């Protein structure tokens, strides 16, 4: 899967201009979010190559029309061809290609590739999580932090403000445009915890879920339960990721500070 992700990244990079507007044609979806021809080009390559790799897997992608037949399959790929399309369009390097293979509603393989940065995160269920950079492979572990006060946390500004109003003082991580990358950074220990607002899609978080989990962290909803994927409505409530002891404190603080939306 890593080679496939890198080939997809090479396609995306032909449209990407660091610090400048993309050369790709950009359209807008019904909800107003942008989509570029690069998104579709990457999606086509991933769909062709990944389904050839695992022919019995169903398919769920942000840029492919959903097919309800996937619900009859216990195995599927969940893909975001370019997570952080707005960043990609404006020349911000913090976008990613997110791939997860899910079995029985939980991820078992994950690749998160950041072509413009040069990082690739990979995880397999029960085998750990790793970062590949400049030809070197390093095993990932969370920061292991056990105290919420003073933790470095990435998340929506409204969440951080709400926690601050409840006297939870945190070091705020600057906003990362790719949600998958924001959450996966918990696995590197670069940040202690990450939060995601309600209504993220399967393709936004499935790969990051496994990467964080295999790095020794917890990736859950406010109720402390792990997310389930390949449901009829593939969206989630508020999510958080952190080392285990810190996660319990973070969830308690979030439940006290935030209005809750069911998943």
Residue 106: φ, ψ to 5°? -130, 145
| β partners of residue 96 | 83
Quote the pLDDT of residue 32: 81
Residue 137 φ/ψ, nearest 5 degrees = -115, 125
**Hey, do 2-139 and 152-257 end up sharing a CATH topology, with the first three levels equal?**
no
Q: What are the boundaries of each domain within the chain?
A: 2-139, 152-257
Task: Give the phi and the psi of residue 240 in degrees, each rounded to 5.
Answer: -145, 155
Domain 152-257 architecture: 3-Layer(aba) Sandwich (3.40)
- pLDDT, tens digit, for every residue of 103-132? 999 999 999 999 999 999 999 999 999 999
Q: Using the CB atoms, write b or e for 96-128: b if 16+ within 10 Å.
A: bbbbbbbbeebbbbbbbbbbbeebbbbbbeeee
What was the pLDDT predicted at 30? 80
Write down the H helix ranges in the chain.
2-13, 37-53, 85-90, 157-165, 179-188, 202-214, 244-257
- CA atoms of 134 and 136, how far apart (whole Å): 6
Task: Give the 3-state secondary structure of residue 151.
Answer: coil
Q: Which residues of the chain have pLDDT under 70?
A: 260-263
* Predicted pLDDT at 263: 45
Residue 111, SS3? strand
Distance from C-alpha of 258 to C-alpha of 161, rounded to nearest angstrom? 10
Question: What fold does the segment set 2-139 form as a domain?
Answer: Fructose-1,6-Bisphosphatase; Chain A, domain 1 (3.30.540)
Which tokens hold the place of 220?
Answer: 């859950």
* Long-range contacts formed by 233-237: CB under 8 A, 24+ apart: 234/60, 234/66, 234/78, 234/201, 234/202, 234/203, 235/199, 235/200, 235/201, 235/202, 235/263, 236/196, 236/198, 236/199, 236/200, 236/201, 236/202, 236/205, 236/263, 237/198, 237/261, 237/262, 237/263
Give pTM, 2 decimals.
0.95
* Residue where the block lists tokens 């600057």: 174
Number of H helices, E strands in the chain: 7, 14
Which whole-number Å values give the CA distances from 234 to 88, 196, 200, 228, 251, in the listed order? 24, 15, 9, 9, 22
What CA–CA distance (Å, rounded) separates 16 from 22?
5
């Amino acid at each position: 899967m890593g080679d496939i992700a890198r080939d997809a990244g090479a396609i995306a990079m032909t449209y990407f201009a660091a610090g400048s507007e993309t050369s790709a044609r950009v359209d807008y979806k019904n909800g107003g979010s942008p989509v570029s021809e690069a998104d579709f080009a990457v999606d086509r390559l991933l769909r062709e190559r990944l389904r050839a790799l695992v022919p019995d897997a169903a398919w769920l992608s942000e840029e492919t029309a959903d097919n309800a037949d996937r619900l009859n399959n216990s195995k599927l790929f969940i893909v975001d061809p370019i997570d952080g399309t707005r960043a990609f369009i404006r020349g911000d390097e913090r976008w990613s290609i997110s791939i997860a293979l899910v079995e029985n509603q939980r991820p078992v393989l994950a690749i998160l590739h950041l072509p413009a940065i040069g990082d690739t995160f990979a995880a397999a269920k029960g085998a750990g999580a790793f970062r590949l950079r400049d030809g070197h492979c390093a095993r990932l572990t969370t920061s292991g932090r056990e105290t919420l006060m003073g933790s470095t946390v990435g998340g929506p500004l409204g969440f951080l403000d709400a926690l601050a109003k409840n006297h939870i003082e945190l070091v705020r991580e600057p906003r990362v445009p790719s949600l998958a990358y924001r959450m996966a950074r918990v696995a590197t220990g670069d940040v202690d915890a990450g939060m995601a607002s309600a209504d993220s899609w399967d393709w936004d978080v499935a790969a990051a879920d496994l990467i964080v989990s295999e790095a020794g962290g917890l990736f859950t909803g406010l109720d402390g339960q792990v997310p389930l994927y390949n449901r009829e409505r593939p969206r989630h409530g508020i999510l958080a990721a952190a080392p285990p002891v810190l996660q319990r404190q973070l969830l308690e603080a979030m439940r006290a500070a935030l209005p809750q939306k069911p998943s």
